[in-house]
């Protein structure tokens, strides 16, 4: 193998090995064992971060208002891209908020825990971006916490641009 190809191959092997090791570790060590947080505690702390620190739902972009600010004669490719990015961001926020709301209702016993909810919870506990979110999100190799911070920064930047979309 070429040295660069071997580096990539070995790096991929290590990532897969450590992901496998992380997946086979006991998940619910619990507070009574003192070994760490349970999956439910990790998910609840992540939900609190999404609701309190990032407040994604409150920062949704009003696309209709942005469209009304753009004059028809000055609407070009940059404005179209901006509007598309706003729509994609709003849909991603909707997916995130709805899925976390469903998990919260399942914790309270108001909904039955489904396989999709368990998959979402496992991804959050492994600090990975859930597949249902990454399907609609921007490509990223970040962990979930860093990805959420980056999402918040992107949303803040779009909110700054909405004031002057020209």
Task: With respect to residue 15, please indicate whether it lies within any of the assigned structural domains.
Answer: no
Q: Which long-range contacts (CB under 8 A, 24 or more apart) does 141-149 make?
A: 144/46, 145/49, 148/49, 148/50, 148/54
Whose tokens are 């990032």? That residue is 54
Question: Among residues of the chain, what percentage have pLDDT more than 90?
Answer: 35
pLDDT at residue 165 in the model: 63
Indicate whether 29 pLDDT > 60.
no
CATH of the domain at 80: 1.20.1270.280
- Report in angstroms the alpha-carbon separations of 153 from 8, 83, 109: 30, 17, 34
For residue range 33-69, what is the model confidence (pLDDT) as tens digits?
555 678 888 889 888 888 888 777 777 888 888 888 7
Question: Of 63, 57, 60, 103, which Cα lies nearest the Cα of 79?
Answer: 63
For residue range 113-148, what is the model confidence (pLDDT) as tens digits?
899 999 999 899 888 899 999 999 988 888 898 999
Domain count, the chain: 1
Task: With respect to residue 49, please indicate whether it lies within any of the assigned structural domains.
Answer: yes
- Tokens (6 digits) for 95: 């997916």
- Band of pLDDT at residue 90, cut at 50, 70 and 90: very high
- Tokens (6 digits) for 5: 């190809």
pTM: 0.77
What would the mean pLDDT of 6-13 be, rounded to a whole number?
92
Task: With respect to residue 3, please indicate whether it lies within any of the assigned structural domains.
Answer: no
Determine the structural domain holding residue 60 and report its residue range.
38-161
- Cβ contact 130:120 at 8 Å: yes
């Amino acid at each position: 193998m070429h040295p660069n190809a071997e580096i990539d191959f070995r790096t991929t092997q290590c990532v897969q090995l450590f992901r496998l090791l992380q997946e086979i570790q006991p998940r619910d060590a619990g507070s009574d064992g003192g070994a760490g947080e349970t999956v439910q505690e990790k998910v609840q702390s992540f939900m609190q971060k999404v609701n309190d620190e990032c407040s994604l739902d409150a920062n949704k972009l009003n696309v209709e208002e942005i469209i009304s600010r753009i004059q028809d004669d000055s609407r070009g490719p940059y404005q179209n891209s901006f509007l598309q990015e706003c729509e994609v961001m709003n849909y991603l926020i909707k997916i995130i908020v709805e899925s976390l709301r469903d998990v919260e209702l399942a914790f309270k016993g108001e909904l039955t825990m489904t396989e999709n909810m368990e998959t979402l919870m496992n991804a959050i506990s492994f600090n990975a971006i859930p597949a249902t979110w990454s399907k609609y999100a921007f490509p990223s190799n970040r962990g979930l916490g860093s990805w959420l911070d980056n999402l918040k920064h992107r949303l803040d930047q779009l909110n700054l641009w909405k004031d002057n979309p020209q």
